[in-house]
Amino acid sequence: MKTALATVTLSGTLPAKLEAAAAAGFQGVEIFENDLLQYEGSPADVRRMAEGLGLEIIALQPFRDMEGMPEPYRSQKFRYLQRKFALAHELGTSRLLMCSNVSPHASGDREQCAADLHALADMAAQEGLTLGYEALAWGRFIADYEDAWDLVKRADHPNLGINLDTFHMFARGNTLDCLRDEIPVDKIALVQIADAPIMQMDVLQYSRHFRCFPGQGDLPVVDFVRCLQDKGFNDYLSHEIFNDEFRSSSAKEKAVDGMRSMIWLQEQASQKEPEQASEITDIEFVEFAVEGDTGEELIGLLNQLGFRETHRHRSKNVSLMRQGDINLILNREPESQAHEHFQRHGVSVCALAFASSNLKSTLARADRYHLQRFEHQAGPGELNIPAIRGVGDSLVYFVERNGAYRFFDIDFVPVEAEQEQLGLQRIDHMGQSVAKTDFLSASFFYKSLFDFDIEPSQDLPDIFGLVVSRTAKSANGRVRIPINMTDAREASPQRFIQRSKGAGFQQVAFECEDIFKAAAGAGPENLLPIPANYYDDIEARFALEPAFVAKLKAHNLLYDLSEEGGELFHFYTRETHGVFFEVLQRTGGYSRYGEANAHIRLAAQSRQYALAQA
Angle CA 296–301–305, to nearest 5: 140
* Bridge partner list, 50: none
Cα separation, 259 vs 241, in Å, equals: 13
The upper half-sphere exposure of residue 49, i.e. CA atoms within 13 Å in the direction of its Cβ, equals 20
* Contact in structure between 508 and 286 (CB atoms under 8 Å): yes
* Contact in structure between 266 and 225 (CB atoms under 8 Å): yes
**Cβ-based burial of 360 (10 A; exposed 0-12, middle 13-18, buried ≥19):** exposed
* Number of residues written out for the chain: 614
**Cβ-based burial of 273 (10 A; exposed 0-12, middle 13-18, buried ≥19):** exposed
Shortest CA distance to 345 belongs to which of 290, 390, 269, 395? 290
Peptide bond into 529 cis (omega under 30): no
- Strand runs labelled E in 205-307: 236-239, 280-289
Residue 567 is labelled as binding a ligand = no
- Any alpha helices (H) in 346-491, and if so which ranges? 359-368, 407-411, 439-450
- What is the b/e burial string over 310-334, where b = at least 16 CB atoms within 10 angstroms of the residue's CB? bbbbeebbbbbbbbbebbbbbbbbe
Shortest CA distance to 307 belongs to which of 424, 452, 132? 424
Residue 19 is labelled as binding a ligand = no
The upper half-sphere exposure of residue 570, i.e. CA atoms within 13 Å in the direction of its Cβ, equals 27
- Any alpha helices (H) in 3-42, and if so which ranges? 14-24, 33-38
The three-class DSSP label of residue 351 is strand
Cα separation, 40 vs 88, in Å, equals: 17
| Helix, strand, coil percentages for the chain (3-state, nearest 5) | 40, 25, 35
* Contact in structure between 56 and 46 (CB atoms under 8 Å): no
Residue 192 is labelled as binding a ligand = yes
The three-class DSSP label of residue 509 is strand
Cα separation, 482 vs 446, in Å, equals: 11
Cβ atoms < 10 Å from Cβ of 497? 21
Query: Using only C-alpha atoms, what is the Rg of the chain?
Result: 28
User: H-helix or E-strand containing 50?
Assistant: helix 43-52
DSSP one-letter code for 596? G
Residue 279 is labelled as binding a ligand = no
- Strand runs labelled E in 198-324: 236-239, 280-289, 308-313, 318-323
- Per the annotation, binding residues are 134, 165, 192, 240
- Per the annotation, binding residues for a divalent metal cation are 134, 165, 192, 240
